[in-house]
């Protein structure tokens, strides 16, 4: 899988050997075996990539909207045509169940590109009012740091709006899921991206990520990752006063009001919380329910877990593959143990691997009940298929529990009363609130309050993160347009 480029980086429109000899092992999480090695970049590789991006920015920032639309259209066509290649890479590198990779990981990644095409066609880069012109201009060279849990989806969520804006980029994908990124780099080359507009350097966060964050010729850095990683990037970026966009951790609530459709809603809530093996920053892993309906919810949740098939991610019958890597597997086991130690009621699942799976980073889908806000499983991001059911007495307490977190990325709300649901949604401190499980929408602003980050991604909101605002005063709007400003 992309073995011919495993020891190379894509810089300045060509594949180049890494400057140093360091390498990183890639492990298949379903077998725990090493399936390859990739080159580990260093500061010299970062310097080359940033310099290539800086050279390319001078001309690419001046390209027409039509030229950028044509490039994005070619990228979209290739993402869709090569979807199965990406699917198989993600099955192998991060253990995504093949059915889920085909249903979500690949098509939603393509959707990010399609949405940016839609946004770019109608975005007003110039607005004029009398003698005032407001210009939206590309911010410059952008460093993009993407995670292992949605490897292709997060790449397109950043690359597509950056290209649409007229920026040039250096991508540092997760070293734990690198093959889909290498495939994407080849795709960009085949799409005819101008040399230097897109660059890729593999490596670790503490080396390549840190070098990008501190680099004086990088104008913006966008990171999706843990809150800890986001803090480190912001600290490294501060001396150069570059823009930092962070999509970080979450501990999202799923609040069931007393008029909710529990029969269907609980099962959907379990699916939402455990989607992608629970490895989503916005996963609604705290299910808040009326105390007098706790027993009913426990039964419904356990029934939903019983429908999950954990196993070989390459099998069509599997609905949940392994945790994506060994460190995260150990983290999930630690948090399940913490739930038991803190006295939460174990409804199903628990420590260890599911029966019949002796190898691989497989975990038992786990539900705890009678979880209180002070427990670790209620406060810390677990990033695995572990759901906490938390009872509340009244609406005021429900809202308080929902907001009792240092995070604020997403939230779910279940009610058959639309007016009541909207009123409560306005009181939840989160960047997205989903009422009654609406379809995913690539136009909806995505980002968090509090320690879930700064800035927004997706749709027009994602595009604007890659733009600077310039006020031009004097002359008339028509003259500004004639002069190409």
Question: What positions carry a catalytic annotation?
Answer: 247, 281
* Cα–Cα distance for residue pair 215/238, rounded to 1 Å: 11
* Three-state DSSP class for residue 165: helix
CA nearest neighbour of 275 among 97, 111, 94 = 97
* Three-state DSSP class for residue 311: coil
* Cα–Cα distance for residue pair 457/466, rounded to 1 Å: 10
Q: Are 133 and 127 in contact (CB under 8 A)?
A: yes
CA nearest neighbour of 57 among 138, 152, 159, 127 = 138
> At 243, which helix (H) or strand (E)?
strand 243-247
Give how far Cα 389 sits from Cα of 267, 279, 285, 345, Å.
13, 18, 8, 9
Return the axis-axis angle of helices 151-165 and 83-94, rounded to nearest 10°. 130
Q: Are 420 and 292 in contact (CB under 8 A)?
A: no
DSSP letter for each residue of 48-82? HHHHHHHHHHHHHTT--HHHHHHHHHHHHHHHHHT
- How many Cβ atoms are within 10 Å of 17's Cβ, its own excluded? 10
Contacts of 30 (CB under 8 A, 6+ apart): 95, 312, 313, 314, 321, 322, 360, 361, 362
CA nearest neighbour of 333 among 376, 289, 386, 371 = 386
* Cα–Cα distance for residue pair 412/229, rounded to 1 Å: 26
């Amino acid at each position: 899988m992309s073995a011919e480029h495993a020891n190379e980086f894509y810089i300045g429109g060509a594949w180049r050997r890494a400057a140093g000899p360091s390498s990183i092992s890639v492990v298949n999480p379903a077998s725990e075996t090493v399936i390859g090695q990739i080159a580990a970049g260093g500061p010299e590789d970062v310097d080359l990539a940033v310099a290539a991006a800086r050279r390319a920015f001078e001309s690419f920032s001046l390209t027409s909207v039509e030229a950028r639309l044509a490039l994005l259209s070619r990228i979209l066509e290739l993402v869709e045509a090569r979807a199965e290649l990406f699917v198989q890479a993600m099955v192998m590198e991060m253990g995504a169940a093949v059915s889920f990779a085909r249903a979500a990981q690949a098509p939603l990644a393509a959707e990010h590109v399609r949405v940016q095409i839609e946004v770019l066609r109608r975005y007003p880069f110039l607005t004029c009012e009398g003698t005032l012109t407001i210009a939206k201009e590309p911010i410059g060279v952008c460093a993009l740091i993407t995670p292992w849990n949605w490897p292709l989806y997060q790449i397109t969520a950043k690359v597509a709006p950056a290209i649409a804006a007229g920026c040039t980029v250096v991508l540092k994908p997760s070293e734990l899921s690198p093959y889909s990124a290498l495939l994407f780099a080849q795709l960009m080359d085949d799409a005819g991206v101008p040399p230097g507009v897109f660059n890729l350097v593999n490596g670790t966060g503490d080396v390549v990520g840190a070098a990008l964050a501190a680099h004086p010729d990088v104008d913006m850095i966008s990171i999706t990752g843990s809150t800890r990683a986001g803090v480190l990037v912001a600290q490294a970026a501060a001396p150069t006063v570059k823009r930092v966009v962070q999509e970080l951790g979450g501990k999202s609530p799923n609040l069931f009001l007393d008029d909710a459709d529990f029969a269907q809603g609980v099962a959907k809530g379990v699916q939402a919380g455990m989607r992608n093996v629970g490895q989503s920053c916005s996963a609604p892993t705290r299910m808040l329910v009326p105390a007098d309906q706790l027993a009913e919810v426990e039964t419904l949740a356990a029934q939903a877990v019983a429908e999950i098939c954990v196993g070989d991610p390459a099998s069509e019958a599997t609905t949940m593959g392994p945790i994506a890597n060994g460190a995260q597997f150990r983290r999930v086991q630690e948090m399940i143990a913490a739930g038991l130690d803190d006295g939460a009621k174990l409804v199903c699942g628990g420590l260890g691997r599911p029966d019949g799976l002796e190898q691989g980073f497989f975990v038992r889908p786990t539900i705890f009940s009678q979880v209180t806000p002070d427990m670790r499983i209620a406060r810390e991001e677990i990033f695995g298929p572990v759901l906490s059911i938390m009872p509340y007495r009244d609406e005021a307490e429900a809202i308080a529990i929902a907001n009792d977190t240092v995070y604020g990325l997403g939230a779910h709300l279940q009610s058959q009363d639309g007016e009541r649901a909207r009123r409560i949604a306005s009181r939840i401190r989160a960047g997205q609130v989903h009422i009654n499980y609406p379809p995913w929408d690539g136009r909806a602003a995505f980002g968090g309050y509090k320690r879930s980050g700064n800035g927004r991604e997706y749709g027009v909101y994602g595009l604007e993160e890659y733009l600077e605002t310039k006020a031009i005063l004097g002359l008339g709007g028509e003259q500004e347009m004639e002069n190409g400003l």
